[in-house]
Chains A and B, each alone.
Chain A
């Protein structure tokens, strides 16, 4: 009897011990993120002003801003999203709904999984050879967007498949039993019911891409740009211009890298401020992803 009592006491102590260890482990991640944010804020907060967003980089740290960097990042992300989303979603739908289960499909699946693990600089090297030289796209917004699109393609495909798999088989059966074709079933049911999951995956992938530096340096992103690409919208006919696609560019992390590698301490403050904004962009994107997931999950009930 006493023995059992002892064992029970021991079990209880172990339980308490793990609760403490688990709590500490959780705090490691939390504390790191907050320490990082606080550190960036202490350094960069004083540089945050309207001017910081509307100024081009400059030789004078107090006049330097991130205008070309945030515009560049936005345009590159636009190209990335427009190319990675349709291709990735189509591939995910094909693999999940259409592909026969055979060795070829398995091989493709293994390849996609491995592709997600390829170091990003390798994508940069490939893009330098393919987009910049072979296709003659130059060191442009287009090359950069396509490079990052390739980088996040595996993430988009995997996210799409996961989202599609969460749609119950009974929905497909219901549609097929009414005489819907496979495409109608996919278009009317599978895709609409998995939109939340797909969007979440896409946004998480884009927030990965927005912080990427190495592949863009490899394809020749400039570190000092004092002009903006042509505006996509024009006041004259035909009102839309594609010139921005071929324009040289810089992006947020490269701008930071440029400032941090300068000797003057004032530039380091600029880098911290830019870092703060980049983090805010990433966290905002993740927040949007969580919101989408919540909204779509709430709407769907089966």
Chain B
């Protein structure tokens, strides 16, 4: 219940060879993998945050990353669009591929990668500009200027983010005047406007009220027909509700990965069961 399981857990996980774990894990995925994570370790200076992670993220599905604070799930998420490049003194070992291409290869264009892999942050962060300007920023920077094309993009993506009806008469109003939930949906619209393949969501609802949270969860359900979604969440009910696959992390290691329905009803690992039943974490 308290600190005892932590050390006990660590001992139980350590002897398992990583390769065998991977064989199990990949067997759980029937879908075509879009992102493959191969033996990834990540370091902040000397501190190791991820330890030999192996699993694949299937295309056009929602994959949830769960686990207690500090388990490495956000670190892994930020590896997928190389946001961790911004942090000094970090190092990644292993390989992450998108469509079979190594995203950490020297030839990879980070800007191009980030256009394919969009991101929604824990705290909504619209630019202090108008709603309209926020949605089109991803197009502005590649030189799209035609008013008609931009108007179309704004409407399409605000509709996709279920925000259009609330803001259509005020498109030139300041984005930061919207409510928190609306601002987060605006950030989703802004990310969608770039037409990425993958959308990373870093606890997108953790600062929202239940109604706004429900709206965003509903949105995730609709978006996964078009996009591949990877969502970090602290809320296990949320993971169970929105995701098709779930990965459970503990102390920088991937303990279990599989179909959400199975992982939550019949987990293979003892630690997973302890966590999802609330016995620790």
Contacts and interface: CB of A to CB of B under 8 A. Distances in A.
B83 interface: yes
B127 A177 contact: no
Interface in A172-204: 172-181, 184, 188-189, 193
B83 A174 contact: no
B136 to A, nearest CB: 10
Interface in A275-300: 299-300
Contacts of A180: 111, 137, 141
Interface string A120-158: 000000000000000000000000000000000000000
Contact of A179 (B86, B88, B141): B141
Given A179-B111, A179-B115, A179-B141, A302 B86 contact: no
B118 A174 contact: no
A164 to B, nearest CB: 15
A193 B126 CA distance: 13
A181 B194 CA distance: 15
Contact of B121 (A170, A179, A193, A301): A170
Given A171-B125, A302-B125, A177 B88 contact: no
A101 interface: yes
Interface size band for B: 20 to 34
B114 A179 contact: yes
A302 B177 CA distance: 9
B81 interface: yes
A195 to B, nearest CB: 12
Most buried by B among A175, A178, A302: A178
A189 B114 CA distance: 18
Nearest to B126: A174
B203 to A, nearest CB: 14
Contacts of A168: 125
A175 B190 CA distance: 10
Nearest to A180: B141
A302 B127 CA distance: 8
A101 to B, nearest CB: 6
Contacts of B194: 178-179
Given A179-B194, A301-B174, A302-B176, A174 B111 contact: no
B141 A101 contact: no
Given A173-B86, A174-B121, A179 B138 contact: yes
B57 interface: no
A189 B129 CA distance: 10
B3 interface: no
Interface in B118-147: 118-119, 121, 123, 125-128, 137-138, 140-142
A141 to B, nearest CB: 40
Given A188-B137, A301-B128, A302-B125, A178 B190 contact: yes
B127 A189 contact: yes
B121 A173 contact: yes
Interface residues of A, number: 22
A20 to B, nearest CB: 44
B112 A179 contact: yes
Interface in A67-104: 101
Contacts of B111: 179-181
Given A177-B114, A299-B128, A170 B83 contact: no
Nearest to A176: B114
B240 to A, nearest CB: 27
Given A171-B125, A189-B127, A178 B114 contact: yes
Contact of A174 (B88, B141, B142, B187): B187
B191 interface: yes
B141 A184 contact: yes
Given A101-B88, A301-B176, A178 B123 contact: no
B185 to A, nearest CB: 15
Contacts of B177: 301
Interface in A10-67: none
A82 to B, nearest CB: 29
Nearest to A301: B176
A188 B176 CA distance: 17
A65 to B, nearest CB: 48
Nearest to B111: A179
A181 B83 CA distance: 13
B127 A174 contact: yes
Which 5 A-B residue pairings sit nearest by Cβ, starting from the closest? A179-B115, A170-B125, A177-B119, A178-B138, A301-B176
6 contacts: A172-B86, A174-B125, A178-B118, A179-B138, A189-B127, A193-B128
Interface of B: 81, 83, 86, 88, 111-112, 114-115, 118-119, 121, 123, 125-128, 137-138, 140-142, 174, 176-177, 187, 190-191, 194
Given A177-B119, A188-B140, 11 more contacts: A173-B119, A173-B121, A176-B86, A177-B81, A177-B121, A178-B115, A178-B137, A178-B138, A178-B190, A179-B112, A179-B114
